[in-house]
Homo-oligomer: A and B are copies of this chain.
Amino acid sequence: SADLDKVRAAAEEFLELFHNENPRAAPIRPRIAAVMREIDMTGTYWHTPAELAFGARVAWRNNARCIGRLYWNSLQVRDLRAVSDAAGVAEQCFDHLRAAHNGGKIRPMISIFAPETSIRPAPRIWNEQLIRYAGYDQPSHRVIGDPRYRAFTAEVIKRGWTPPEHPGAFDVLPLVVETVDEGPRMFDVPSSVVHEVPLEHPELPWFAELGMRWHAVPVISNNRLEIGGVSYPAAPFNGWYMGTEIGARNLGDNDRYALVPQVAERMGLDTSDEATLWRDRALVEINRAVLHSFQANEITITDHHTESRRFLVHLEKEERAGRSCPADWSWIVPPMSGSQTPVFHRYYDAEDLVPNFFADDEIAHRALHGAPPAFR
């Protein structure tokens, strides 16, 4: 069939890449022949552990949105393809959080659960990240917590999740794992694997009183990993945070924690006139607080200037290796002080390469609305 032809072509392309970059691997011809037989029989094939690890690393290397790719080759890969039940997936996700946190010296890591096969759909994790904070709609139209997840929060409550007695701004949402046998199931994330950093400012003592904090390890959990024609819908991965993700976006965006006006007011800025650049000033101070607090707690974090320079080193290395390095300008350029970073001042390749990570509209919708289920 046409579908199987696609799998065969993708498998062959990937195996060639793997053997090109791993000259000491077993000979390629017998491996391709074996994989083709396997596809004939089952519609898919089983990656060797070395292929799996290489595939995941190259998926990172190929992801045009990620500025942190310099260390792509050191990604730690947890081969969990034998795990396909909801409780097993949840348990291993919590272990991932523990192992990746590593006492603050965060390790880039991916956990790869059972793949999609023709006879058995793979498990799915609904949440955008393993740790995300609930958002509660209030009668006053204010939201407590993260407004991005107000629909998701309402949906998990409808499904039976009990929020804390006193809903707070940083209540960790339950993990929703869906399998074809069990449907969607919810699991509370044990507090022992949720490491958080209370935010304080190096110079402004009142900042700590805002009661802000953020979690240490960003594990994106809803992207589908695709390697050589095999699809791994559950393959949560993490790096460490770049400060702007927290300070500029999660805390700064108007439709997230929207901290800028509050901080500007505490700073005593004139918010009646945009030309005082009160937004810009408050934004910088929030971001200073994030970087300072992570550093004070000895949690790995990077700033956008350093990371931009590292990314240019990565581009050079990729060029020297004779590879194209696709990059999406609008994702690579940081959300603050764009033109102060060297990544602003150049163009990038725009190819789509596989292996890679994907999130289609349905996946994205499920992560924000907690619906519809994948298997109905």
Q: Which residues of B contact A339 (CB under 8 A)?
A: 248-249, 252-253, 335-336
Write the A259-291 contact mask toward B (1 if CB under 8 angstroms, else 0): 010000000000000111101110110011001
- Asked if B281 and A284 make an inter-chain contact with CB atoms under 8 angstroms apart, the answer reads yes
Question: Shortest distance in angstroms between A247's beta carbon and chain B's nearest beta carbon?
Answer: 9
Residues of B within 8 A of A342 (CB): 254
Chain B residues with CB under 8 Å of A295's CB are 275
A252-B339, A336-B338, A340-B280 given as contacts; is B288 within 8 A of A303 (CB)? Answer: no
By beta carbon, the residue of chain B nearest A330 is: B329
- State in angstroms the CA–CA spacing of A344 and B255 once bound together: 13
Contact yes or no, B338 A279, CB < 8 A? no
Which of B248, B305, B329, B330 touches A274 (beta carbons < 8 Å)?
B305
Whether A138 is near chain B, meaning CB under 8 Å from some CB there, is: no
State the A residues within 8 Å of B (CB): 202, 243, 248-249, 252-255, 260, 274-277, 279-281, 283-284, 287-288, 291-292, 295, 303, 305-306, 329-330, 333-340, 342, 344-345
Q: A280-B340, A283-B337 are in contact. List 12 more A-B contacts (CB 8 A).
A: A202-B276, A249-B339, A253-B339, A254-B342, A260-B340, A274-B303, A277-B291, A279-B305, A279-B340, A284-B284, A329-B330, A335-B344
